[in-house]
Amino acid sequence: MFRIEINSDEWRARTMKHPVRYMIFMGILACGALWCGVFGQTAPPSIEDEIARLRKELIQTQVDVERTNQEIEKDKKDFEAYRARTVQRLAQTQSLLDTLKSETLEQSRASDALAARIGEAIAKRREIELSQDEFRRKLISFCNSVQPEVKKLPPLIMAPMLSGLSLLINDLTIKSIDVVEGCTRLVQILGKLDEAGSGIQISQESSPVADIHGMAYRLRIGTIFEAVVDAKGEKCAVFSGWGDGGAPHWKDLDSPVLAQAVLQAVNIREGKSLPAFVNLPLARQGGAQ
C-alpha cells in the first residue's frame, strides 16, 4: 500500500494552467488504482487452514517422535543382547583360561615329577653302567687268567678254546657286547673245557709231526693225552708240551708196538674194532710211559 499526498492549492493552480495534463494524470491515477485493487491485494489465510496446517505438522512430529522412540528401543534391545552375548563370551573365555591354567599347572607338576623320575633313572643307569664296567673289567681279568691254563692243553683242544677266549676278551674290551652276553660266552667256553676234560676226540688230517708223512690220525683223550699215528700204525708221536715260542712238542716214540696200540684205540673209538683195554703211552717231560 502506498499513498500520494497532494497540496490542494498548488495542485489547483497547476491544473488550471494545464488542463490536458491534469486529465492525463488523473487517468493514470485511475488505472493505477484499478490495477492495485485487482492485483496488488491478496486475501489473508483463514484460521481453519492455519489450524489444519498446524495439526498436520503436529501429527507428523508425533509420528517422527514415535519412530525415533521405536528406533531407540530397538537400539537398546540390540545393545542389551550384544552386552549379554559379550558377557557370556567373556565368561566362557575366562572359564577356558582357568581350565587351561589348571591344566598347565597339572602338566607342569607332571613334567616335574617325570623329570625327577628321569633323573633317578639316569642316576640308576649310570650306577648300573659303572657296575657293569667294573664287572666287565673283572670278566676280562678272569679270561686273561684262564688263558695261560688253556695254552697248556693239547693242541686239538687248545686252539679253538684259546681263539674263543681271545675273541671274547677283544669284544669285552671294545664294548661290542654287554656283560650278559660276555658271561654267556664265557660259560659256554668253560663248558666246552669241562667236556673236553672227559671227552675223546679223533680227527684225520695232515700230520703235524715232521717224521710222520701224509695223512694221519690224531687221538686226544681228555686234557692229558694227544697222539699222532700214521694210517698203517708204524709211526707214532705223543704231545709232550709247548715250547717257548708257542710251538707244540711232539715226542717220537719210535715203537711200532706203541703205534699199533694208538691205532687200535682209534679203531675202537670209530667202531672198527671190538672194545678192549689198550695201553697208551703218556708223555712226560724227559720221556714217555
pLDDT, tens only, 173-183 = 998 998 889 99
35-44, 251-260, 267-276: least confident range: 35-44
Give CA–CA dist 254/238, Å, rounded. Answer: 11
Contact in structure between 222 and 199 (CB atoms under 8 Å):
yes
| Element spanning 252, H or E | strand 248-252
pLDDT for position 168:
94
Residue 287 domain-assigned (yes or no): yes
What is the mean pLDDT of the segment spanning 220-248?
89
Q: How far is residue 72's CA from residue 66's CA, in Å, rounded to a whole number?
A: 10
82 is written with which cell numbers? Answer: 550384544
Residue 239 lies in a domain: yes
Structural domain that includes position 205: 199-289
pLDDT of amino acid 39: 47
Say yes or no to pLDDT of 165 above 90: yes
Spatial contact of 251 and 238, defined as CB atoms under 8 Å apart: yes
Residue 207 within a domain: yes
CB neighbours of 189 closer than 8 A, spacing ≥ 6? Answer: 161, 164, 165, 168
Q: Is the pTM of this model over 0.85?
A: no
Mean pLDDT of 132-149: 91
Q: Which residues contact 144 (CB under 8 A, 6 or more apart)?
A: 169
Higher pLDDT, 281 or 151: 151
Residue 218's pLDDT is: 92
- For the purposes of burial, counting CB atoms within 10 Å of the CB of 243, is it exposed (0-12), middle (13-18) or buried (19 or more)? exposed
CA distance 222 to 219: 10
73 within domain boundaries: no
pLDDT mean across residues, the chain: 82
How many residues are present in the chain?
289
Does position 282 have pLDDT exceeding 80, yes or no? no
| pLDDT exceeds cutoff 50 at 2 | no
CB 263 within 8 A of CB 276: no
Domain annotation covers residue 251: yes
**118: in domain:** no
pLDDT above 90 (res 141): yes
How many structural domains compose the chain?
1
Is the residue at 229 inside a domain?
yes
Distance separating alpha carbons of residues 205 and 211, to the nearest angstrom: 15
For residue 152, pLDDT beyond 60: yes
Q: Is 178 among the domain residues?
A: no
